[in-house]
Amino acid sequence: MARMRQALGTVTFSDRSTVERLSVTLTSGPEPTPSFWTSVFGLRCNAPGYQGQLIAPNFSDTVPTTIDVRPWLAWYTNAGGWHWLGTVGVNRSQWYEWTATPSGVAEWQTPGGAITPWTWSPLSVTPGNGTYVVAVFEAIYWYGHPEYVWSYARSIEDGDAITTYCSYP
């Protein structure tokens, strides 16, 4: 593996009579730079008069493609370490099925061409615990062969300042 630097592997998930196999890429060497979804959506931190929210990236593909997407928030405190929150509770998140198109998610496009993306809101964090929050999306693109991707969502602290996380002192 060290000489190859990269290898293709398979992860198998099974639930009763259903079996799902996904391709994964394994790499060795320096830790890769985190990747972010490249859209203006993401985790919007609290700002004065503004409640925090997570807006899903406008997933796209070259041809209309079914995608399954699972959103997560991960939070960290020195006292408690890392924790994961999904849309249905701690350590549990729901998969959402959408259609990625060249211009974004078909289900979010209005007849007038505006986009009304999926939003998880309101998000509230109790101050005084030194909490850091990041947003993560898992997605499976089903075009051709299933491709699993996992990436951070950009965070916007105040105004237009883009960060990798939200900080709540």
Residue 83 confidence (pLDDT): 93
Domain positions in the chain are 34-168
Residue 63 confidence (pLDDT): 87
How far apart (Å, rounded) are the C-alpha atoms in residues 147 and 143?
Answer: 8
Cut 0.75: pTM above it: no
- Cβ neighbors of 130 (< 8 A, separation 6 or more) are 77, 78, 168, 169
Residue 32 confidence (pLDDT): 47
The DSSP symbol for 98 reads E
Cα Dmax for the chain = 54
pLDDT at 145 over 60: yes
pLDDT at 160 over 70: no
* 57 touches 135 (CB < 8 A): no
For 24, what's the count of Cα atoms within 13 Å in the CB-facing half-sphere?
11
Residue 108 confidence (pLDDT): 93
Class of domain 34-168: mainly beta
Please give the sequence-ordered ranges of beta strands (E in DSSP) within the chain, or none if there are none: 6-15, 18-27, 42-44, 52-55, 65-77, 81-86, 89-90, 96-101, 104-105, 119-123, 131-141, 147-153, 155-156, 162-163, 166-168
pLDDT at 109 over 50: yes
Between CA 97 and CA 164, with CA 156 as vertex, the angle to 5 degrees is: 85
How far apart (Å, rounded) are the C-alpha atoms in residues 146 and 16?
Answer: 20
For 67, what's the count of Cα atoms within 13 Å in the CB-facing half-sphere?
30
